[in-house]
Amino acid sequence: MAKTDNKIENANLSVTDKLKSLYKLQLIDSEIDRIKIMRGELPLEVRDLEDEIAGLETRIANLEIETAQLTTQISSRESGKAEANALIKKYTEQQNNVRNNREYDSLSKEIEFQTLEIELCEKKIKEHKIDIEQKTIFIDESKNRLDERKKDLEQKKAELDSIISETQIDEEKLNKDRETIATNIESRLLYAYSRIRNNVLNKLAVVSIERDACGGCFNKIPPQRQLDIKSSRKIIPCEYCGRILVDPEILEK
């Protein structure tokens, strides 16, 4: 019921009151924009640093897992090498007790196979150690970069928190005032206001006349149109940029 009452009240407001509300809303939004500009790129920089830190931590974790897997593979190859040496020793001893050339040749082939197995193990161990060495370098570099980025993030967060703490009370009050004023503006006007704000670079949807020109795009406004705007009897958009034009002294009416 309260929302319905508000809609009826909003519809019954004079054009002058509607323009006053729109202009007040613009002034509040401009002040909120100014506070956000004070923060500059800090929120984006903080977010980018957080993303980079998360990426570095994931990279380091993956590299450490890969290094551990390579270490396990080296241990496995070392075991394989030890087993092959043991078999070579066993087959060599057996060759001393063979009864014919066929058994001797068979054992020789087994010894040759185990010798190749040892060479393969040594090759793989060497490759894994090189890989571990490279990954260790990458891990160290990533950890150094991670430490730097964490320090940068700490500094940026401190700067951002300082600015937020300085402006928080003002921003909260502005947002509360904005909410109050917005409830007094009919939905179609509020939508038009928001659409204009989103389509212009300086976020000014409602502007006053300045030196006989639009306060948004600075194009000249004809004298008769200026008189119509000054009367505040209807909502008049700028014919060049579409911004809503108001009399500079409208808040005093």
Q: 117: domain CATH number?
A: 1.10.287.1490
pLDDT digits (tens, 9 = 90+) for 201-244: 899 999 999 999 999 999 999 999 999 999 989 999 999 999 99
What confidence tier does 10 reach under pLDDT thresholds 50, 70, 90? low
Last residue of a domain, one of 130, 145, 180: 180
% of the chain with per-residue pLDDT over 90: 78
Are 142 and 235 contained in the same domain?
no
Last residue of a domain, one of 130, 155, 180: 180
Q: How many residues does the chain have?
A: 253
Residue 4 confidence (pLDDT): 46
Q: Which residues pair with 206 in a beta bridge?
A: 244
Are 164 and 87 contained in the same domain?
yes
Instruction: List the domain range (segments joined by +) for residue 126.
Output: 42-180
Last residue of a domain, one of 180, 205, 234: 180
Are 29 and 55 contained in the same domain?
no
pLDDT digits (tens, 9 = 90+) for 76-123: 999 999 999 999 999 999 998 888 999 999 999 999 999 999 999 999
pTM score: 0.58
Are 69 and 164 contained in the same domain?
yes
Report the C-alpha gap between 219 and 217 in whole angstroms: 6
Are 74 and 162 contained in the same domain?
yes
Residue 117: name the closest of 73, 90, 89, 77 by CA: 77
Instruction: Return the sign of the alpha-carbon dihedral for residues 227, 231, 232, 235.
Output: negative
Are 124 and 226 contained in the same domain?
no
Are 50 and 155 contained in the same domain?
yes
Are 52 and 102 contained in the same domain?
yes
Domain total of the chain: 2
Residue 1 confidence (pLDDT): 45
- Report the run of H or E that residue 208 belongs to, with start and end: strand 206-210
Are 140 and 108 contained in the same domain?
yes
Are 217 and 141 contained in the same domain?
no
Are 30 and 48 contained in the same domain?
no
Report the C-alpha gap between 95 and 163 in whole angstroms: 85
pLDDT digits (tens, 9 = 90+) for 37-71: 877 788 889 999 999 999 999 999 999 999 999 99
Are 169 and 46 contained in the same domain?
yes
